[in-house]
Structure 1
């Protein structure tokens, strides 16, 4: 994820924040005369804030998750609002019309990314990734390479056997856990492992054992944790108080490079020497497209540090989003057994007794409707990756300055009762009636955009959809899913980790199909 979203403050962090007010009060008083002379922006409405820190205290001190805080502001201030978070200005959009205006109608202007904090810059190698790059030649080069040479439909088909192997392994691991745990399995854990297996093979062109995969996976989790927002992201003057955290971040970055670089070097050597050992069982990989990649505006090819960053982006970008979707999917099938039965009946009528294949899921209309409803009700994150404007712009009649973080509140859009009937209800049939549908790319109109929309739409949309469809179909074909008696399925509590996960994590009782 790339959004700068707030956090809950501890008592120690409150003291630091109070210290910040004292530190910067004199600077604020010095700047007031200059600010009063500058052009006053017509920003969207929002709650009044304090000098220097803006709304940071209200948000962090509310005791509520940020998404819930925003939900409660929308009825008060409308579908576009402003939060002042220290030195950062957040413009939050929650209506389909405004999202379409920003991402489609004014897509080129809203295609930038905001400035990064110093820690994040270390890991992105100064914004050298598809998701974080400034809108321009570097972004065009990186995105074009990823989409054309790795995520096109023709290229994805080359990794069919990789997916078959990973999904088979997932099923076997679920069976093993069920046998050892009175038929109870942890859904997210197994889904995440399977997706990560696929992406590791696609990225590095190698087949690894479970211990290797889990070691790399743990490293990727550590990277995501170290990138969580801190107070000094919003108040850079507090940076001296976070020297320990910066040192920890540098150590994590060193460990990340140490973990991934051997695989990068091994693949480079294998390609150079035309080797085809058992460890290099995949004939093509994402890395193959990167070694000699030409970047517009620069003569050099990516450095080793940049290769580590691009590989990490590929692994992190598609793992938690897909795994989280599968956890929510199984929860919904347990909540509504009739939906689970209809998927199973569609599988049986399509493939009979043989194992369902990814070609089969392309013709499963009801499965597709379930997946689409899943992504509407449970987008992987509350907000799309943060946008910024390339030049001063207007949106909904309000000013959007170039230093603003433009946040798209996905849940607000997907639950808008002006475009959806009974939006709180999980109902796949809405996509079968012909009365309700949605182009998830947003091109034909924004109603749900779980992958974002416009020029910065997630390049892995097709891959994620394929993985969700295939893995969900196999999970339903192999097992009947029921609720763990001790876990209530009525409220679907959620929390933000790297993505929006169930709270607590879903455990389910499985019974093998006969």
Structure 2
């Protein structure tokens, strides 16, 4: 009897040990799964997201974060889209594992048309083409030494903007609606940087209208990300609109590109004066990975369109939010004006770029505006170049990665009273003292993205925001027209003020 008991115990222990070892082996060799998310049913799972923009998704994403945690998966298209809603995980992905997360998802049908098959900086795959285009922009146009050459252009545009605001105020009892004036000013500035030419008002306005029409229609073209062979038939009019807008864009840009090519050739022969522009740098580029060929005219159009669109809308939106908060918070505006007077005096005609370096409160105002009201609430989607594990989950090769930019800057664990506008937080002793907006060491806010795909125009945007905000406050006292300043949001090309901001401006100097 004792032998039978011993035998049964031995068998039981062996079976238990085998099961334990088997489970352990499965645990060791089992691949991690995708981050959690709503159940995926092919085709049907995509339909609820069909008509939503990322802005519409924000309340949904907050709910999903509360349910699934700081990283979760949605099946918006046939490939998974993974959302990261935590600053530590975002840093691990975009900075620490930056090379693996630096690609872009495949272009949609409309994206291929507008980017000349991904021959621009924002959509190019991570690799030699992207490096070449980005290096050219950084070295030839937005390097600090190059930016100094455009100082006369900034002064010229500032004078136009001030005159435009004064004329509007005189026509409406001192009240102005700033959005149109800001867009007008930044387009002229970027246009000159891009093409090196001052064109007549009608031609410039026509090009600006085409750019605005094209960019404002982008949301309509998202439909072609879903079953493109079918949607191009069902939404034929929309597809034809895309092709028509692209054709108009090329018809207006081609003559400008050819004119720059001719002027550059003349300058090489010692004929006439020549001011360097973005187009000029593109004319010299060769693509080593494509047989050393030059960029086509269509590809140069795509790069110029990217330069104009990215620079105008984001900067216009950021300046709009900053000025609205200065109207709402008169104490902040007063403190900023006192700093300006202390640096340049009351008789200065202009605040120059070199003056900006001596204005820490100005920089704090700009940073607080970008933290509280980032123009984009999400980064341009990333994609991974290989299978990666993040927070214990599988991020499969080719998956689209999106990061909740606005939520990073509103994190109550980092920022005290995060929804309040308090520039002092960026001064000595504040929670934002010495904050690095590039996110290289840690992410506290990321209005320009972080990592290898960080916006290359960060320095240019900061210069423009500081320069124009400071000069506008030096030139005018900004007051509310009536009642409270409405800071409600809506999605346009960027996240803008729901109601166009109006202000009453009072010249600070009597001419």
TM-score (normalizing by structure 1): 0.88
Whether the 8 Å CA contact 2:55–2:377 is kept in 1: the answer is no
User: 1:90 Cα deviation (Å)?
Assistant: 1.4
Distance 1:366 1:61 in 2: 39
Q: CA RMSD in A?
A: 2.2
Mapped pair 1:359 → 2:350? no
* Distance in 2 (alpha carbons) for counterparts of 1:480 and 1:126: 48
Render the CA deviation track for 1:471-490: whole Å, top value 9, x for unaligned: 0001111111111216x425
Alpha-carbon separation, structure 2, partners of 1:326 and 1:361? 16
- 1:163 equivalent to 2:154? Answer yes
Equivalent residue, structure 1, for 2:485 = 489
Distance 1:64 1:413 in 2: 16
For the Cα contact (< 8 Å) 2:174–2:504, is it kept in 1?
A: yes
Residue 334 of structure 2 is aligned with which of 308, 329, 341? 341
1-structure distance, mates of 2:352, 2:209: 30
1:378 equivalent in alignment to 2:356: no
Cα deviation, residue 58, structure 1: 6.1
Q: Distance in 2 between matches of 1:61 and 1:147?
A: 35
Q: Is the 8 A contact 2:71 2:85 kept in 1?
A: yes
1:239-258 counterparts in 2 under 5 A?
Answer: 239=231, 240-258=233-251
Are the counterparts in 1 of residues 319 and 469 from structure 2 also a CA contact under 8 Å? yes
- Is 1:224 paired with 2:219? no
Q: Deviations over 1:256-296 (max 9, x none)?
A: 1001111111111111112999xx97611011111120223
Alignment of 1:285-434 (within 5 A): 285-298=277-290, 299-352=292-345, 353-354=347-348, 355-434=350-429
1:193-216 deviations in Å (ceiling 9; x for gaps): 111111101100111233332211
SS in 1 for 2:75: strand
Task: State the distance in 1 between where 2:243 and 2:224 align.
Answer: 16
Offset at residue 340 of structure 1 (A): 0.4
Contact 2:438 2:449 in 1 (8 A): yes
- Counterpart of 1:101 in 2: which secondary structure? helix
Larger Rg: 2
Residue deviations 1:13-62, cap 9 Å, x none? xxxxxxxxxxxxxxxxxxxxxxxxxx986111223354423154167489
Which residue of 2 is the match for residue 42 of structure 1?
33
C-alpha distance in 1 between matches for 2:237 and 2:32: 38
SS of aligned partner of 1:92 = strand
SS of 2:287's equivalent in the other structure is coil
Deviations 1:369-401 (A, max 9, x none): 111111111111010111001111122221112
Q: Does 1:510 align with 2:502?
A: no
For residue 128 of structure 1, give the secondary structure of its aligned residue in structure 2.
Answer: coil
Q: Counterpart of 1:436?
A: 431
Counterpart selection for 1:501 from 490, 496, 502: 496
Match of 1:150 in 2: 141
Q: Which residue of 2 aligns with 1:66?
A: 57
Aligned match for 1:233, one of 219, 225, 232? 225
Per the alignment, do residues 61 and 310 of structure 1 end up closer, same or farther by CA in structure 2, a change over 3 Å counting? Answer: closer
Gap change, CA 1:64 and 1:147, over 3 Å in 2: closer
Report if the CA contact (8 A) 1:188-1:326 is conserved.
no
Structure 1 gap ranges (5+): 1-38
| Shift of residue 236, structure 1, vs aligned partner | 3.4
Rounded to whole Å, the distance in 1 between the matches of 2:444 and 2:226 is: 32
- Structure 2 residue 93 is the aligned partner of structure 1 residue 102: yes
Of 221-230 and 172-181, deviating more is 221-230
Deviations 1:134-181 (A, max 9, x none): 001111111111111111100111100001100111010000011111
Call closer, same or farther: CA 1:414–1:338 in 2, change over 3 Å: same
In 1, the alpha carbon distance for the partners of 2:382 and 2:252 equals 31
Given that 2:474 and 2:508 are in contact with CA atoms closer than 8 Å, whether structure 1 keeps it comes out as yes
> Which segment drifts farther, 131-140 or 221-230?
221-230
Alignment of 1:124-273 (within 5 A): 124-228=115-219, 229-236=221-228, 238-239=230-231, 240-273=233-266
**Could you state the TM-score of these two structures normalised by the residue count of structure 2?**
0.88
* 2:469 corresponds to which of 464, 468, 472: 472
Deviating runs (4+, > 6 A) in structure 1?
Answer: 61-64
Change (3 A) 1:62 1:135: closer
Give distance in 1, aligned partners of 2:85 and 2:226: 23
